[in-house]
Amino acid sequence: MPSRAPGKWRFARTGDYISQKAGRSWGHRQSAPGGRASRHDRAASGGGRGASWRRPRGPGVGSLEAARLRASGGPGAEPMSSSVAGPDCCGGFGNVDFRQADLCVMTRLLGYVDPSDPCFVAAILTITFNPLFWNVVARWEQRTRKLSKVFRSPYLACYSLGAAILLLNVLRSHCFTQAMLSQPKMESLDNPTAYRVGLALLGIGSTFVLSSFFALGFTGTFLGDYFGILMEARVTTFPFNILDNPMYWGSTANYLGWAIMHASPTGLLLTVVVALIYMVAIQYEEPFTAQIYQQKASSSRKRS
């Protein structure tokens, strides 16, 4: 039992005693024969002779007893509005502990994920690092041409960066999978239907990634325009006629399908991180790439 202050304990026991006395007294207050109200009923209802000879009492035991009688719904009890009854029954919203609110969805999802797990931390780091790496290196190359000078060819430099990006993506996928396997599954996703949905997403994502690669070529896929290897015209064939940046969104669909196939809430959370990182990368890459091709167009006009 929770501890109480001595004064509150005495008051609570006094209230219980009065409530019991009121209940016993109420059991003997039967209506008089012939439908006439008894003296006790007239006194409780405030009518008849009881109201004339009883003097008003201040707040105390009598008023507390009368309040309990009115709250019990006995004869002569006045209807009590919800605005008054609310505090009497539960103390109003002031006594509600919102810290005990059941945030079932959030609690259920976060209950599966341990952010301090080394595999989870490694997955977050690789997901964040990869786009940062290739954007920083490509912009540095576009400004300085250092890689092209080291490899004595912009194509060899682009192939080297592409190979590094592929290896980093393999490492990212490995860390992603290990993070899923090191943490528990979600029972509601561990069924054949969810597995088939994940498999379909994996197929769609792979289609976007592979078709983008074949449409762009190796140098177009792996930032060849930063090495001065520019395409003659904008690619408008599939899948670029369906959505922009299909390789990024195809990769995101791959991770989403992989997470669902493993019934992994950790994988779902990491997929959200992948999508957010790609969105940030797109915001930096698209204006810079557009600027490169604008410079090409302006130089071509000058030559002509």
CA distances from 138 to 50, 135, 226 (A): 97, 5, 6
Residue of higher predicted confidence among 295 and 209: 209
| 172-178 long-range Cβ contacts below 8 angstroms, 24+ apart | 172/123, 172/126, 172/127, 172/130, 175/119, 175/122, 175/123, 175/125, 175/126, 176/123, 176/126, 176/127, 176/255, 176/258, 176/267, 176/270, 177/258, 177/262, 178/119, 178/122, 178/123
pLDDT higher than 60, residue 221 = yes
pLDDT in tens, 60-98: 444 444 544 454 444 544 444 444 444 444 444 445 454
205 has binding-site annotation: yes
Q: Determine whether the annotation assigns residue 203 to a binding site.
A: yes
* Mean pLDDT over the full length of the chain: 76
In whole angstroms, give the CA distance from residue 127 to residue 275: 10
Number of Cβ within 10 Å of residue 186's Cβ equals: 20
What mean pLDDT is predicted for residues 45-69? 44
Of residues 174 and 79, more confidently modeled:
174
* Residue 65 known to bind ligand: no
Q: Residue 152 to residues 78, 141, 145, 156: CA-CA distances in angstroms?
A: 97, 13, 10, 8
pLDDT tens digits for range 229-265: 988 878 889 999 999 899 999 999 999 999 999 999 9
Residue 211 half-sphere exposure toward CB, CA atoms < 13 A: 19
Q: Tens digit of pLDDT for each residue in 255-297?
A: 999 999 999 999 999 999 999 999 999 998 888 888 888 877 7
pLDDT over threshold 70, residue 169: yes
Model pTM above 0.75: no
Is 141 annotated to bind ligand? Answer: no
From 210, 125, 130, select the one nearest 166 (Cα to Cα). Answer: 130
Give per-residue pLDDT as tens, 140-156.
999 999 999 999 999 99
The token pair that represents 139 in the structure block: 């912009």
- At which residue do the structure tokens 């074949």 appear? 214
Tell me the percentage of the chain whose pLDDT exceeds 90.
53
